[in-house]
Amino acid sequence: MSNQQTRRVVVTGTGVISSIGIGVDNFWSAIKQHECGITDAKTYNTEDLQIKIAGEVKDFDPKEEGLPKQFLMADRYSQFAGIAAREAVKQSGMTMPLSPEDGMRAAAIIGSGVGGINTLEDSYRGLFELKKRATHPLTLLKTIGSSAPAHVSIEYGIKGPCFGVVSACSTATHSIGLVYNMIKSGMVDFGLGGAAEASLAWGTTRAWQGMRVLSPVGLYPFSKHRNGTVLAEGAGILMLEEYEHAVERGANILAEIKGFGMTADAADMVNPDIDGTAGAMELALKDADLSPSDIDYINAHGTATVVNDINETRSIKRVFGNRAKDTPISSTKSMHGHALGAGGGIEAIACLKAMEDNYLPATIGFDEPGDECDLDYIPNEGRSTEVNYTMSNSFAFGGLNAVLVFGPSPS
């Protein structure tokens, strides 16, 4: 095994569940066909809501997905994590469950912005509206934000670092970045990183409505007619490995994580700050030892709120300088919606598939550029072109920023 100064981190497995497909192949096929998963919400009552659309996972039945019994008793968000983790493990070719010795050298960092909020909402409704005398005995375990990584660790025998990260819409990217740093430092040799979210519910939508950041019609990043974001659900999880560990077991290496950067605006809970977002991109590039001219594609945070899209555009211009106008950018949220804490994991997989297929996803629903949104957002149609290095941006409420840079497998 290499020493910690030269340890490199690669991706050997990916797993996704989203409003446009369960499984990476289905997800990527929908991306290339410019499909939109944002539809009228079906899983909760929208009769008295102003916002009636969402990016729901379609035709989801945990029993039909073949999840183990422990996941069948869990919250929907943990079930999503179980499905995505299973796919990532299978693609990695790693033998699971792990031996006790190998389990101590593995991590499961799987976060969620809000955890089992559907369980919590159902429980409160039972107590306060239906006047039930007690909640389901597993309510606490289903609700807590660390239940997803705990379930995954039990399933695969992961005995090393195991916990959930909470950083709103940057959760998955922070989680992947933490596993990357754990491997790089020598703490572990491999691990699952990402996030899951299943927060689509009546109460959650009412809360978001109160902030006036949701669109009643669709998610149109960087477009002149954008008028807010659209909530979605899903999960995106990566299997990360130390390079030599992957080589020794003959794993198929998908890509290398070249760099990771994270910052906090320390300015405002809602309005983003250019210093924080630009700083995270700069740190990721520095960690990767790359220049802006090396980046072939940016998967933008691109939430389609007026303030966020302008701030992200300004940040890219600051970091990329003259290169900004020549760097293709898109927001795949235009297709799968804003999966909150899980968004960065789903979008990281979009970056990896872009590199594998030499194809850049589109920003669909783009009519004409919004004010100050004057970069190349790959409007409406994806592109076939050589893709070697990609960047994935996640910028959350509270000014919590995280950025990943991916590159080709080490030779």
Instruction: Report pLDDT for 4.
Output: 45
> What sections of 93-230 are H helices per DSSP?
100-103, 117-124, 139-143, 147-156, 171-185, 202-211
Q: Which CATH architecture has domain 9-248?
A: 3-Layer(aba) Sandwich (3.40)
Query: 196: which strand partners?
Result: 235
CA separation for the pair 226, 230 (Å, rounded): 11
Residue listed under structure tokens 């990584």: 149
Distance of CA 319 to CAs 234, 341, 395, 405, Å? 31, 25, 15, 14
| Class at the top of the CATH hierarchy for domain 260-407 | alpha beta
In the chain, CATH 3.40.47.10 covers: 9-248, 260-407
Identify the three-state secondary structure at position 350: helix
Residue 281 half-sphere exposure, CB side, CA atoms within 13 Å?
28
Rg (CA), the chain: 20
Q: Which residue out of 36, 162, 169, 373 is catalytically annotated?
A: 169
Spell out the per-residue pLDDT of the chain, length 411, in tens. 344 467 999 999 999 999 999 999 999 999 999 999 999 999 999 999 999 999 999 999 999 998 888 899 999 999 999 999 999 999 999 999 999 999 999 999 999 999 999 999 999 889 898 899 889 889 999 999 999 999 999 999 999 999 999 999 999 999 999 999 999 999 999 999 999 999 999 999 999 999 999 999 999 999 999 999 999 999 999 999 999 999 999 999 999 999 999 999 999 998 889 999 999 999 999 999 999 999 999 999 999 999 999 999 999 999 999 999 999 999 999 999 999 999 999 999 999 999 999 999 999 999 999 999 999 999 999 999 999 999 999 999 999 999 999 999 997
Instruction: Report pLDDT for 124.
Output: 87
CA separation for the pair 294, 355 (Å, rounded): 13
Q: Which residue out of 245, 338, 351, 373 is catalytically annotated?
A: 338
| Structure token digits, residue 316 | 């890219």
CA separation for the pair 102, 99 (Å, rounded): 5
Is there a catalytic annotation at residue 169? yes
Phi/psi zone of residue 211: left (φ > 0), alpha (ψ -120 to 50 degrees), beta? alpha
Q: Which residue out of 151, 174, 301, 336 is catalytically annotated?
A: 301
Task: Please give the biggest Cα pair distance in the chain.
Answer: 64
